[in-house]
Structure 1
Amino acid sequence: MSTAQENQRQGRKAYADGQYSIAHEYFTRALKAATSPDDQCSILDNRAATLEKLGDEHYLSALKDARRMMRVSRTSVRGYLRAGKILQLMENFHVAAATYEYGLGLIADEDVEGRRLLEGMYEKVQARAKAFREKEKARDPLSVLPVEIVDMVFRGLPFRTLMLLQCVSRGWRRFLSEYHRSYATLDFTGVKKPVPKVTVMAYLQRARGRTTKVMLEKFHPSMLAMIVTKSKKLSELSVMSTDFLPDGYIRLLQRDNLAVLNLHCQMSSESALDLIATAKNLEVLKCHRLGRLSAADLEIGGGLKLKKLVLTWDQPKMSGGRIVIKDFPELRELNLCCRRIDSGHEPADFRELRRLEKLVLRDLTVHWFPKVPDSLLHLDIRVETLNMDHPDVKALPSLESLGLPESSKINNAMLLMLLSATTSLRSLDLSMCPRINADSMDWLLDAGHGDSLEYLSLAGNPSFRDEVTRELGRLKKLKRLDIAHTMITGIGVANLVYREGSQLEWLGLDYCINVGRDAIEAANAVGVRVSHRMDHYFGARMRYSVVVG
């Protein structure tokens, strides 16, 4: 017996005993000693089978041996069968089928058995390739998509959806449990029952200190202490509960890491003032249900980094002292509701807020138009009484948006005085102002805003008629017009949407009972979006529709 045959015999014996590494060594020695093509082909077949057993990391080496068999004996079926088998193990069914087809063109016609084997394998692989393609279509996206794409998909999903997606499969649960955005926001709003403390604790443990935003609605106050203590990176907290929150728990919110606080809970005014004065890094504070204060004037200040402040007292038009806002060097937006801000003899003075860009005053006792800084861009005043006839009403050079909705005492003369103080107004809201005479737009055009105004609301104005719509054509940049609750008809709508050079994009016609569907469809046809709602009007049941072009 030759050396090659002896080594091959020893290799087959080791293969049968499951000693594949030893078998591979014997087959390698035998291949070096083999001289005839038949012996080489047989030994290569044995070594390729051994490499298959050694694991998928050896499949490429096994495939090289199979292809060497195909070169050594082109008409032998063994090389094509071995190569096809390895390619199937590698799930490369398309190439495996091509290998069988290639072999059918080369083996001799006399090899009936070999041809039958190749044809059978070719048909099986074709069927497996088809099934594999169907499986590929339904493959788990987490296993094929790049991490960046998966992050783009999941980053916009709310907390509740991310938790539900963990029920898809074990793989999804494992991924989402480790996904850094899963527990960055804990949203417990919209629940029917109070969230158990043990549930919140479990989520905080999974977050491992990565939570930056928490939203609570129904909860025990002690849970707030646990969240603030455990979440070292917490920067935003929203408490949507309307229950009273004791002062002791409010003090827990005086932490350096908190930047945004949105509190809908009942709380004392003293607690809010304490938060403003002591929270070092607080940038946004919204307190929506503050309790009554004493009759003395209230000075609010000390928020060095505060950029947005919303204070709403729980009792509308309450009596008591006035509010004085001071010492907010970074404040950009101020929203006050249900409190007195002037003395009755002098207007409120906000000029110390040199960076103030937006001022909203709602349901306040305001006798005089307030003194505002030159930096102001947006002003919204919703009060019943407002005296515009004060000598300190001066130029507002930066004002872009003015809102005076539901101001029952504002008339054209007062409004013209205010409009004359502005130079580049882009938005004007005069909805539900019954004393504004809208028979003509001269009061608006005389103030010099015909070339800058982009939004105008005259909703609920009893004097607005179709005749005025022609004058609105002089507002060259008007894009949005709200004339809901007016007596406009389809003729007026046509005047607005068909005027030459019109830039109108949106038209508010809610509860305009004289406007038919044909006028709305005509507006949609020229690219104007229309809001037209009809519900119950003066006790009569009407149609309800919203048409958006």
Structure 2
Amino acid sequence: MPRTMSAVEYQELGKKYYKQKEYQKAVDAFTEGIESMSIPSVGMLNNRAASFEKLEDYKMAVKDGRDMIKIDKKDVRGYLRTGNILQKMEKSQVAIEIYKYGLKNVPVTDENFKLLQSMHDKLTRQLSPPKAIDPFAVLPIELVEMIISYLTFRNMVTCLRVSMQWKRFLISRVSLWTHLDLSHARRQVSVAFVRDCIRRSQFKIKTATIHRFTNSDVLRSLATTCKSLSTLDFLSGSIAGDSLCEVAMCATQLKRLTLAPHIEISLDAVTQVLRHRPTLSHAEFFSINSTGIRADWRVDLPNLQTLTLTASTSCSNPSSINLNLPSLYARAPNLAHLKLNSWQTSPHSGLLEEQDFTPLPSLTSLALTRFTLSTFPRLPPSLHTLILSSDNCVNFTTLSPLSARNDQNALDAHLPLLRDLEISCVAGIGAGLFEKLLLEDGNSGGVEEGERGGSKLMRLSLANADIPDAVTLFALLSNPRLAALSILDLTAGPVDDEAVAALITLFPNLTHLNLAKTRVTGVSVKALVKNLGKPGLKWLGVDYCMGITSEDAVRLARGRGVEPKTNTSKFKVIRSIISA
């Protein structure tokens, strides 16, 4: 007999019977609706499963639940319905597996994801043994110590309160206290606690991360008594320059010292620390505040390999600070990683000399961020990573001296080992200068003969660079040394759908691509996903691309294993950055 109602009408009829507790009639109505559809809807199956459940026909209810999961793995209803019925059938272990499967497939943004998580956790607790077994009672001591070593320092300290047995064991294991890590402290750390940690280590602390602790006397004691102390990282607090110098003098084996951005230190104190502790190989100062000072690098620093010098945001006149960089390069010839951030070089301090890095033959990483450039810097051929960026857009074609010097410096700066290049917030990087910078042949002084051709770049960022048009951009990107790029950032560049088609051809190996603030549309997203998707492209940045007006392209990207980051007026705001 032909059906006289639509699927929607059968569903409404079934719901009416269900409310009236006529569950068999509800099942019949839902069945008619399901059979009238080419593909059953999850909602219809869910309604019929609920009716079967009321009739205690759990086998049929579970079948409908599994069919719901098959039809749409991202719909949380199938997992909740199936898991609940399996629990009633006393098949709790199977129910847990259903919940686990759901947690892998249901988006965390689903409003019922937390309910699914709580059902899984609740059932897991119910199936746990009624009494926990103390691992100290059944495991070898060596294995317990290895397990504890994987905990964060804060969690290990929390374990002291479990029982007296745990406390005695933890205090007695010297190796667990050789790394003092206060980074997870939520409030001010007491002097007594730090002293206890020093004693528990038997004065063998090797690394210390200081946070929410400011007692200078205890820090001096730490540096004096722990002869193996090699690393000191300050994340917060206020330590005076004199106190820091004393700590550095006492820590005779200190190799690494870092001060977080909100810990201010004078330039004079920086030079004194390095002067008194020439053993340092890694030093980072993120908030240097001083005026009218010329840095005095009095001693040789042959061990120094990594150095970060950042001007404080509260510094009223950074240009009055003379870093005396030529003297630093002469004192630390083995520098491999150098970062200079937020400095305005003084016009009376040998400006061109300060931007000549060729005296550092071992330099592999150079980052000049928000650093005043008077000309294209002279660079050593040993560089693997080069970062040039400025808050105020620097134009290499108008710098003084004239652009001829820029061209010559770029030519002299042949970088055959370069693999990571970032040129952000600058202008005037025409194809000519870029080609000279990435020249494949020519002067490669200090480089082995087999490397003269130049290595392939793996990462390139031209974010917010003032590139006039797509023609100029692709003249830059057509350089042979860019053929193997895996990470590319063209934020705010002259990129549209036509340009994306060229990108796909030029860079088939891309894994991360940032096209934020460009003119691309959903057409570009689909083309990128289709041509560079699995197993290649993994991350796509399309923040503030107002040409993307539909979420279809975003869904397609996620379905192909690409994580798109969007921030438009039509989508949920997610601020993203590219990371190598």
Q: Do the structures match in fold with TM over 0.5?
A: yes
CA–CA distance in structure 1, aligned partners of residues 299 and 358 of structure 2: 14
Candidates 369, 374, 389, aligned match of 1:367: 374
Q: 1:445 to 1:542 in 2, by over 3 A?
A: closer
2:460 corresponds in structure 1 to: 428
**Per-residue deviation, 1:310:** 0.9
1:482-519 CA distance string (max 9 Å, x none): 11222321100111121279832322223334434321
CA–CA distance in structure 1, aligned partners of residues 294 and 495 of structure 2: 45
CA–CA distance in structure 2, aligned partners of residues 244 and 491 of structure 1: 55
Candidates 273, 276, 294, aligned match of 1:275: 273
Give the secondary-structure state (helix, strand or coil) at the position aligned to 1:262. strand
Q: Does 1:165 align with 2:165?
A: no
Query: Greater CA deviation, 232-241 or 294-303?
Result: 294-303
The answer as to whether partners of 2:364 and 2:384 remain within 8 angstroms in 1 is yes
The answer as to whether partners of 2:430 and 2:472 remain within 8 angstroms in 1 is no
Candidates 139, 142, 156, aligned match of 2:150: 156
**Per-residue deviation, 1:412:** 5.1
Residue 518 of structure 2 aligns with an amino acid whose one-letter code is T
**Per-residue deviation, 1:212:** 1.4
**Per-residue deviation, 1:182:** 2.8
1:310-356 CA distance string (max 9 Å, x none): 11121387113353222324322111112245844566222222111
Backbone CA RMSD of aligned residues: 3.1
Give the secondary-structure state (helix, strand or coil) at the position aligned to 1:376. coil
Candidates 213, 220, 230, aligned match of 2:225: 230
1:135-177 CA distance string (max 9 Å, x none): 8983222333344543443323211110012222333222222
1:313 corresponds in structure 2 to: 311
Q: 1:172 to 1:531 in 2, by over 3 A?
A: farther
The answer as to whether partners of 1:410 and 1:436 remain within 8 angstroms in 2 is no
**Per-residue deviation, 1:477:** 2.3
Q: What are the equivalent positions in structure 2 for 1:92-103 lying under 5 Å apart?
A: none
1:392 corresponds in structure 2 to: 409
1:9 corresponds in structure 2 to: none
Give the secondary-structure state (helix, strand or coil) at the position aligned to 1:379. strand
2:335 corresponds in structure 1 to: 331
Question: % of aligned pairs identical?
Answer: 25
Residue 319 of structure 2 aligns with an amino acid whose one-letter code is S
The answer as to whether partners of 2:174 and 2:202 remain within 8 angstroms in 1 is no
1:17-56 CA distance string (max 9 Å, x none): xxxxxxxxxxxxxxxxxxxxxxxxxxxxxxxxxxxxxxxx
CA–CA distance in structure 1, aligned partners of residues 186 and 478 of structure 2: 56
CA–CA distance in structure 1, aligned partners of residues 152 and 246 of structure 2: 29
2:113 corresponds in structure 1 to: none
Q: Does 1:245 align with 2:240?
A: yes
CA–CA distance in structure 1, aligned partners of residues 177 and 468 of structure 2: 52
The answer as to whether partners of 1:368 and 1:386 remain within 8 angstroms in 2 is no
Q: TM-score, normalised by structure 1?
A: 0.67
Q: What are the equivalent positions in structure 2 for 1:98-497 lying under 5 Å apart?
A: 138-189=132-183, 191=185, 193-218=187-212, 219-241=214-236, 243=238, 245-254=240-249, 255-264=251-260, 265-294=263-292, 296=294, 302-314=300-312, 315=315, 318-320=318-320, 321=322, 323-324=325-326, 325-340=329-344, 343-345=350-352, 348-383=355-390, 384-385=393-394, 387=396, 389=403, 390=405, 391-393=408-410, 394=412, 395-408=414-427, 410-411=429-430, 413-420=432-439, 424-435=456-467, 437-438=469-470, 442-461=474-493, 463-473=494-504, 474-497=506-529
Give the secondary-structure state (helix, strand or coil) at the position aligned to 1:405. strand
Give the secondary-structure state (helix, strand or coil) at the position aligned to 1:267. coil
CA–CA distance in structure 1, aligned partners of residues 496 and 377 of structure 2: 33
Q: TM-score, normalised by structure 2?
A: 0.64
Give the secondary-structure state (helix, strand or coil) at the position aligned to 2:223. helix
**Per-residue deviation, 1:457:** 0.3
CA–CA distance in structure 2, aligned partners of residues 227 and 253 of structure 1: 11
2:95 corresponds in structure 1 to: none
The answer as to whether partners of 1:367 and 1:386 remain within 8 angstroms in 2 is no
1:453-477 CA distance string (max 9 Å, x none): 221100122x211111110122132
Q: Which runs of 5+ in 1 are unaligned?
A: 1-133
CA–CA distance in structure 1, aligned partners of residues 259 and 543 of structure 2: 33
Residue 224 of structure 2 aligns with an amino acid whose one-letter code is T
**Per-residue deviation, 1:190:** 5.1
**Per-residue deviation, 1:432:** 1.6
Residue 362 of structure 1 aligns with an amino acid whose one-letter code is T
